[in-house]
Amino acid sequence: MRILGLLLFLTVTIGFSQTNDEKQIKAIYNAALTDGRSYDWLNYLSNQIGGRLSGSVQAQQAVEYTKKQMDSLGLDKVWLQPVMVPKWVRGAPEFAYIENQPGMTNNVPICALGGSVATPGVGIKADIIEVEGIEQLKKLGRSKIAGKIVFFNRPMDPTLIKTFEAYSGCVDQRYSGAEEAAKLGAVGVIVRSMNLRLDDFPHTGSMSYGDLPVESRIPAAAISTNGAELLSTTLKLNPKVKFFFRQSCKQYEDVESFNVIGEIKGSVHPDEIIVVSGHLDSWDLGDGSHDDGAGVVQSMEVLRLMKVNGYKPERTIRAVLFMNEENGLRGGNKYAEVATSKKENHIFALESDAGGFTPRGFSFDSSDANFERLLSWKTLFEPYLVHLFEKGHSGADIGPLKNKQVVLAGLVPDSQRYFDHHHAQNDTFEHVNKRELELGAATMASLVYLFDKYGILPN
Amino acid sequence: MRILGLLLFLTVTIGFSQTNDEKQIKAIYNAALTDGRSYDWLNYLSNQIGGRLSGSVQAQQAVEYTKKQMDSLGLDKVWLQPVMVPKWVRGAPEFAYIENQPGMTNNVPICALGGSVATPGVGIKADIIEVEGIEQLKKLGRSKIAGKIVFFNRPMDPTLIKTFEAYSGCVDQRYSGAEEAAKLGAVGVIVRSMNLRLDDFPHTGSMSYGDLPVESRIPAAAISTNGAELLSTTLKLNPKVKFFFRQSCKQYEDVESFNVIGEIKGSVHPDEIIVVSGHLDSWDLGDGSHDDGAGVVQSMEVLRLMKVNGYKPERTIRAVLFMNEENGLRGGNKYAEVATSKKENHIFALESDAGGFTPRGFSFDSSDANFERLLSWKTLFEPYLVHLFEKGHSGADIGPLKNKQVVLAGLVPDSQRYFDHHHAQNDTFEHVNKRELELGAATMASLVYLFDKYGILPN
C-alpha cells in the first residue's frame, strides 16, 4: 500500500515536472517565433557592418554593436574581455588564369587562403600539377613537384549526409597543403573550394605553414569548384598548361580585440556557469551571416528570451561572443585561460557555429552518465522537430573549456546548404531564413533552460 | 537445442535481410546524390517552361517534356491519361490602392485568387472592413457588410512548428471568404496572403463560390503581407478609407489535358501497383519549382534510380504526374476513376507536394497494422536524418485512391521556408537546393523500395 502510494506520488511528481518543462519550453519557442530579435540583430551585423575578419574595423564595430545591444537587455553584467588577435589583410582582389598556350588564357575565380603569403607583385606563373591530396603529393615527391604549382582537387564526398563529415574529409588540403607542397619545392598551391555545389565562388579559410621558416612559405589560394573542374579538364587535355595567380595579402602584427560577454547571475548556484556562444569574427568575403553571425545573435537571444519570459536562472548564464574563431581561436583560448585563472566552474557550454538553418539537434561532448541523462530530455524537443542527440564535436571556441566535468555541446542545424555559403562571398543575410534562425535560438534556449534547472551529474 | 537453433537461424536471417535493405537504400542515396537528374529536369520545367497553370500552353509543354524524359528512361510503359481540366486565366496585371482621401493613395500588391471573377473594367472602389475570419464576418452580418469590400486578415500562427498547420488554420478565408461575404452583400474580398513572412509578394491559391449563382459572385484577391499590415494600420487610423482594385481574370470552358504516367512492370506481383507522384500543374505567378515541380522530378527520379541501380521491382511501380491539383484535382480524380474501372489493385501511393526541401519523414494514411510495420522501418532512414513517421494527411492527388487496404503517404520535407514561396512570384528555381531535392527523391525511392519488397499487410 505504501509502496503503491509512493509510486503514485513519484508518477505525479514526474508528471508535473515534465509538464512544467514542457510549458517553459513552449514559452521559449513562442517568444522566439513571435517577437524574436535575432533576425534584426543579424540584419545589422550583416548589412550595416559586414564581414568581420579579426583585427578589422568591422570586427571592432561588431564588438561595439553587440555590447551595446546586450547592455540594453537588462542583464546583470556585460563586459569586454581583451584578447590579442592576428591581423591578416587580403589586399587587392586576387587574379588567376589558366594558360593553354601564350595568349590563350581562361580567367578563373580564386581567393587567397587566410594566413597565406602574397605572390610577388607580378604574380607567379608556373607548371601546375593536380593531386587528390597530401598522400599523393608525398608519393610524387620532389622530382615531380619542385618548381610547380600544386593543385589539390579532392572534392567533398556528396554521398555523406552530414556535410561536415565531407568537409572534414577534405580540409587537410586547405589547411596543410601549402606546408607540405613547400617542403617538396612547390612554388604555390591552388585548392579546390570546400563546396558541394558547382559554382563560381572561391571559398577561403584558414591554413597553416606549420614550422616552415618565413622564406620557405609559398602562396596558397582557393579556386571555385567550377574553376577547379575547368582546370582539371584542361590539364587532362594539355598537361603542359601553365597557371598564373597573383595575390597581395599580408599578415600584420597582432592587435587587441575582445570577446563580448553578457551575464545573468544565478539565483541559487551563481558559481555554476553555463555558456551559450557563437563567434563574432567572420571571413571577409561575404558578410558572415551564417558563419557565424547566426550563432552570435542566437546566443544573445537566449539571454533575451529569459528576460522577456521573466525566467530567473538558478545558475549563472553567459552569452559569450568569441573573437577570432576563424584564424587563431584566440578568443576561445583566452576565455578558457581566464576561467581557469579565476577557478570558475563551468558546467555546460553550448556553441552555435554551423549556420542559421533549421535546428535538427545537438552534438554532445560529455561523460556517459550525463549523456544518458540528456537522452531523457529528447522527448521534450520532439514537438519542435529536433531529433538528433548524438555524441561528437561541440564547437571550436568552447573546446578549450573541456575537462572531466563540463558538458560541451554544439547546435546541429540542417547542414545541406551550409557549404554553399561557407567562407564565401555568398554567405550573406538573404540566405538566412528568419524562422529557421529563430527556431535555432529557441532550441538553444530550451537546452540551456534544462541545464539551468537540473545542472549536471558528477563524474 | 532445436529451438535455440531456430532462434539462431531467425537472427541470422533477419540480420541478413536488414543488411541487404541497408545496402539497397545506401545505393539509392548514393546514386541520387552523385548522378541525380532531378535538378536538371527541374531547371528545364522551371526556367524553360515556367508556371504551368491547368489549361495553359505551359502545362501542355510540361506534359510533353516529362513524357519525353520518361520515354528516355527505358521504362516498360509511358502514357498520357486524358482528363478535362478547368482553364482560368489571370489577364492583365492586377492593380489596387488604399485611398485615405481622394487623391491620397497607396498602391498595394495584390493578385486575383484562382477561380475569381473579374472586377468591372474600371475596377471597384468601396469602403473596406477588416475581419479576422468567417465567423466574425457572420457575426457582423449584412448591415455591416453590404456594399463593402471585406478584408480577411487573420495571419498564419507563427508559433506552430509545422507550418502546414498554420496554413490550415487560415486558408478557409481564402477558399470560402468570397462565398460567405457575397451572401452578406459584400462587393469584393481581399485576403491576407498565406505567408509567414512580411514581404511584398501576394500569394494566390484556389477559392470557391460554392453554390452561389454566377450573378452573385464577387471578385476576390490576395494582398501581400506587407500590404495587409499597411491596410490594417491605415484602417485603424482612418476607418473611412476606401479600397480600390481591378482585375480581369476569366474562367473559360474546360480543356483537355493529361496525367503523365510511367511504369516499370512488377516481376513477381505485377498486379500490385505502387504509385509515386507529384503534380505537373502549378500556379502562374512563379515557375512552380517547389509547388510542385519538385514532386514531379522526384517521382521521375524514383523510377530512374531503380533503372540505373539495376533494381527489378517485384511489384509494378508507377510515377504519376498529376494534372490540375491546384484548382480542381481533376487529374487525381481521373486517375482513381480509371483505376477503379480497371479494377487495379493499388497497394501504396506516395506523393511529394510540400516543396523540395530537406526530407524529414513521411505522413501516413494507413491501417494501424501497416503503420506499426512501417515504424519498424524507421531505423533504416535514420542514417539519412529522416526521423518523422507519423499518421496524417498524405497528398491531395492520391487521396481519391483511398480504400481500406491501400497505404497512402506524403513526403514531409522541412516546412519552414515553404510558405515564403507558396503560390507566389518567388516560387522559383533558385530557391531549390540541389542536395535537398535529391535527398527527397532518394528518401521517396527508399520507401518505395521497401513497399516493393515487403508489400502491405492485409486488413
pLDDT in tens, A237-251: 999 999 999 999 999
Count up the domains in chain A and report the number: 2
Residues A43 and A126 in one domain: no
- Which of the listed residues A208, A232, A248 is the one where a domain comes to its end? A248
CB-nearest to A384 from B161, B360, B436 is B161
With vertex at residue B452, the alpha carbon angle to CA B450 and CA B457, rounded to the nearest 5 degrees, is 80
Its domain, for residue A237, covers 92-248
Closest-approach residue (CA) in chain B for A432: B417
The CA distance from A117 to A115, in Å, is 7
Residue A263 lies in a domain: yes
List of residues 6+ apart from A437 with CB closer than 8 A: A36, A38, A39, A42, A294, A297, A298, A356
Residues A358 and A450 in one domain: yes
Residue B127 lies in a domain: yes
CB-nearest to A434 from B33, B159, B197 is B197
The CA distance from B446 to B26, in Å, is 9
Residue A5 lies in a domain: no
Q: Do B439 and A420 touch (CB under 8 A)?
A: no
Residue A363 lies in a domain: yes
Helix or strand (DSSP H, E) at A307: helix A294-308
Say if residue A420 is preceded by a cis peptide, omega within 30 of 0: no
The CA distance from B4 to B9, in Å, is 9
Three-state DSSP at B60 gives helix
Q: Do A161 and B384 touch (CB under 8 A)?
A: yes
Residues A416 and A301 in one domain: yes
Give the ipTM: 0.94
Which residue, among A68, A43, A79, A73, has the nearest Cα to A338 in the 3D structure? A79
Chain B contact for A387 (CB, 8 A cutoff):
yes
- Which of the listed residues B233, B248, B263 is the one where a domain comes to its end? B248
Residue A79 lies in a domain: yes
The CA distance from A250 to A253, in Å, is 10
C-alpha cell at A52: 568581420
A40-to-A57, A417, B314 alpha-carbon distances in Å:
21, 22, 54
B174-to-A348, B54, B199 alpha-carbon distances in Å:
48, 20, 18
- Which of the listed residues B181, B213, B248 is the one where a domain comes to its end? B248
Residues B221 and B283 in one domain: no
Helix or strand (DSSP H, E) at B452: helix B434-454
Residue B11 lies in a domain: no
- pLDDT at position A459: 78
Residues B319 and B411 in one domain: yes
Residue A212 lies in a domain: yes
A61-to-A42, A89, B141 alpha-carbon distances in Å:
13, 17, 57
Which residue, among A317, A276, A321, has the nearest Cα to A42 in the 3D structure? A321
- Could you tell me if B186 and B144 are in contact, meaning their C-beta atoms sit under 8 angstroms apart? no
pTM: 0.95
Residues B103 and B138 in one domain: yes
Residues B320 and B191 in one domain: no
C-alpha cell at A417: 546548404
CB-nearest to B416 from A159, A383, A439 is A439
Chain A / chain B CB contacts < 8 angstroms: 58
Cβ-in-10-Å burial (0-12, 13-18, 19+) of A8 comes to exposed
Chain A contact for B162 (CB, 8 A cutoff):
yes
A280-to-A289, A303, B253, B342 alpha-carbon distances in Å:
10, 17, 61, 65
Residues B189 and B43 in one domain: no
Which residue, among B245, B80, B66, has the nearest Cα to B150 in the 3D structure? B245
Interface test with A, best of B28, B418, B435 (most A CBs within 10 A): B435
Which of the residues A325, A326, A351, A438 is marked catalytic? A325
- pLDDT at position A18: 62
CATH number, residue B170 = 3.50.30.30
- In the residue annotation, B325 being an active-site residue is answered as yes
CATH number, residue A376 = 3.40.630.10
Helix or strand (DSSP H, E) at A270: strand A269-279
Q: Please list the ranges in chain B whose pLDDT falls under 70.
A: 1-18
Strand ranges in B54-155 using DSSP code E only, listed in sequence order: 77-89, 95-101, 104-107, 110-112, 124-131, 149-152
Residues A72 and A186 in one domain: no
The CA distance from A37 to A23, in Å, is 21
Which residues in chain B touch residue A420, judged by CB atoms under 8 angstroms apart? 433
Which of the residues B263, B325, B326, B351 is marked catalytic? B325
Chain B contact for A414 (CB, 8 A cutoff):
yes
Which residue, among A453, A79, A458, has the nearest Cα to A269 in the 3D structure? A453
Chain B contact for A136 (CB, 8 A cutoff):
no
Residues A299 and A403 in one domain: yes
- Could you tell me if B192 and B166 are in contact, meaning their C-beta atoms sit under 8 angstroms apart? no
Interface test with A, best of B159, B167, B390, B419 (most A CBs within 10 A): B159
Helix or strand (DSSP H, E) at B270: strand B269-279
Q: Which alpha helices (DSSP H) does B320-404 contain, by range?
A: 330-341, 368-375, 378-381
- End-to-end C-alpha distance for chain A, whole angstroms: 36
- pLDDT at position A17: 57
B306-to-A273, A337, B31, B302 alpha-carbon distances in Å:
54, 56, 10, 7
B312: region left, alpha or beta (phi > 0 left; psi from -120 to 50 alpha): beta
Residues B272 and B413 in one domain: yes
Three-state DSSP at B162 gives coil
Three-state DSSP at B412 gives strand
Residue A15 lies in a domain: no
Chain B contact for A33 (CB, 8 A cutoff):
yes
Residues B293 and B399 in one domain: yes
Per residue of chain A (459 residues), give pLDDT as tens. Answer: 344 444 444 444 445 556 899 999 999 999 999 999 999 999 999 999 999 999 999 999 999 999 999 999 999 999 999 999 999 999 999 999 999 999 999 999 999 999 999 999 999 999 999 999 999 999 999 999 999 999 999 999 999 999 999 999 999 999 999 999 999 999 999 999 999 999 999 999 999 999 999 999 999 999 999 999 999 999 999 999 999 999 999 999 999 999 999 999 999 999 999 999 999 999 999 999 999 999 999 999 999 999 999 999 999 999 999 999 999 999 999 999 999 999 999 999 999 999 999 999 999 999 999 999 999 999 999 999 999 999 999 999 999 999 999 999 999 999 999 999 999 999 999 999 999 999 999 999 999 999 999 999 987
The CA distance from B207 to B219, in Å, is 11
C-alpha cell at A139: 608519393
